[in-house]
Chains A and B, each alone.
Chain A
């Protein structure tokens, strides 16, 4: 074993410390899941920039940190988190430093089962067993394995057949302590023909460094429709690594909008696997400045015929920030009549801003319609000129167009108050005059 490997191992062993002790009980499968994950971690290392998948995202700063799960829970009052409330959401699950906070959570909708892992194990153990950790695999994914090894509290949303949850479900993950690692975990089981909006929201009440390592899984049965909104607004020194996977059955529909604004270093992996006739959109906006790095890796897997995918990923890079986008579209043998469109547009606001972008089309079929396009650039001069010709100053015109560039993605969020507050954030950051 090389010295480096040994060092890595001790770092990972350290991260494994404090994973839940195995209890003997009827939920043996859960213990097995955790211990398999512990086993998986021991075979893996923290990726370096020599790994193709991590070429542009250097985690050495993360490995220099001493991290542990929250030892004591910070008792927050409802007023402390008031500003994060989304008024449309009737249901809210709140996790503080990874620990479920029942007193801050609100569960109103009797139609859907919305719960924390421990309280659901007895009643729905079999269902959980069938799906938990089945979409995001521990194998070869050290961060997913670490998350599963620490699996204790989780947000579980079960949407019954043919129901429509009109109000969105808000999952709020709050960081309050420095040098703490949390393992947010979400599982959404959408039964046939149901409809719902799920908001995954990462926020911080402090500015020191910490680490969020999240895993989110969606299972959509036939004809289910899910709108997934993901907002990453972590603290400025945070590390945020998240793995999300969605498995789409026949004719189901998964619309996701992911906004990355926070964290010093963030990485989001999204994998969508589509069955026949499924539809998905996987839109994203990374808006970063100073020395932030935001890395998004997506893989949309057209496993069967007649599936439709749409992807619009945008980056606004200011200061000396660095954005990464890797968008893979896979069309498997036999996935006839696949219809896929991907576009990635990046706005670099300074000379030092940086983007690495790579569309990756892997098509094993003839009979498909796949388009992709990427643009990288400064603001369009014709657009700036148009606004100037209406009396708007050059600076205001630039700010307004920067805002509009980002707003195109934010507009796709169906929750009005969240959309509005994110638009306000972008307005403030761009100093747009409207």
Chain B
């Protein structure tokens, strides 16, 4: 939702990033204010997943120029764990499996670490158990889910739900959902979307990175951006997503090229 008295959460200016010397992000500009829901859409290889990983601090990407200010701080100077503690959350496209580490142990470690850094009290195992079970209801998760190893042997849908559960627990200021809809059946998609919608409020913001319009039926964006070749070339409202769904992406590129020619 767009609010008049919103604050700027994220400000990306002329961001360029490369992996092993190959430029992926080329002059990315992007601003997110509190309360807003953004969708970044684009074809495979457009750089949208790279953008989410760069924001979360993945070590494989080298920032070659540009700035990113998150909640008034220089995000690029922060280690990935500092970004998480400061309220940035990335729901992974492919969450990793950690056999041998119980999900509840992991969730408690994650939660307490972040709480401590935010100057809040840790929860003991019993308190934590109540807390996590409450959050699990939101995502219609089965009880045995806590006893299993982190993501090990989880279905695609269960992994994505586990991501959103983590988001629900950490209450980030900025949540980036990287292809959260991919591989989900309609029921799972509905549950995940419902979870996200309940977490959205006027103080936080959400960026959805996606290929398809499908997720946007459930989580309605305020802004839709089209990413091509490492930058945003068109932005619009939610109707842009529908247009992309029916017309594909080529017309956006063509329009952009034509505009560039005129400008030149």
A→B interface (CB under 8 Å): 380-383, 385-386, 388-394, 396-397, 400-401, 403-408, 410-411, 423, 433-434
Contact = CB atoms under 8 A, between A and B. Distances in A.
A390 B98 contact: no
Contacts of A390: 81, 84, 110, 113-114, 166, 170
A388 B96 contact: no
A383 B151 CA distance: 12
A314 to B, nearest CB: 11
23 contacts: A380-B96, A381-B60, A383-B96, A385-B56, A385-B58, A385-B80, A386-B95, A388-B57, A388-B79, A389-B56, A389-B80, A389-B81, A389-B83, A391-B114, A391-B117, A391-B170, A392-B110, A401-B98, A403-B100, A404-B98, A407-B99, A434-B101, A434-B109
B98 A394 contact: no
B59 interface: yes
Chain B residues touching A, range? 20 to 34
A386 B90 CA distance: 9
Interface string B220-239: 00000000000000000000
Contacts of A410: 100
A392 B81 contact: yes
Contacts of B38: none
A355 B89 CA distance: 38
Interface string B71-114: 00000000111011100011010011011111001100110011
Contact of B79 (A394, A401, A403, A423): A394
Nearest to B83: A389
Contacts of B90: 389
Given A389-B90, A408-B100, A433-B109, 13 more contacts: A388-B80, A389-B81, A390-B84, A390-B110, A390-B114, A390-B170, A391-B85, A392-B113, A404-B100, A404-B149, A411-B100, A423-B100, A434-B106
Contacts of B56: 385, 389
Nearest to B104: A434
A307 to B, nearest CB: 26
Contacts of A382: 96
Interface of B: 56-60, 79-81, 83-85, 89-90, 92, 95-96, 98-102, 105-106, 109-110, 113-114, 117, 149, 166, 170
The 3 closest A-B CB pairs, nearest first, are A407-B100, A388-B80, A391-B114
B4 to A, nearest CB: 33
Nearest to B60: A381
A350 B95 CA distance: 27
B99 A404 contact: yes
A119 B84 CA distance: 65
Nearest to A380: B96
B98 A391 contact: no
B84 A391 contact: yes
Contacts of A406: 100
B19 to A, nearest CB: 12
B57 A389 contact: yes
A382 B166 CA distance: 18
Contacts of A434: 101-102, 105-106, 109
B99 A391 contact: no
B242 to A, nearest CB: 32
A375 to B, nearest CB: 15
B59 A391 contact: no
Nearest to B112: A391
A416 B82 CA distance: 37
Among A403, A404, A407, A410, the most chain B Cβ lie within 10 Å of the Cβ of A404
B99 A385 contact: no
Contacts of A393: 81, 113
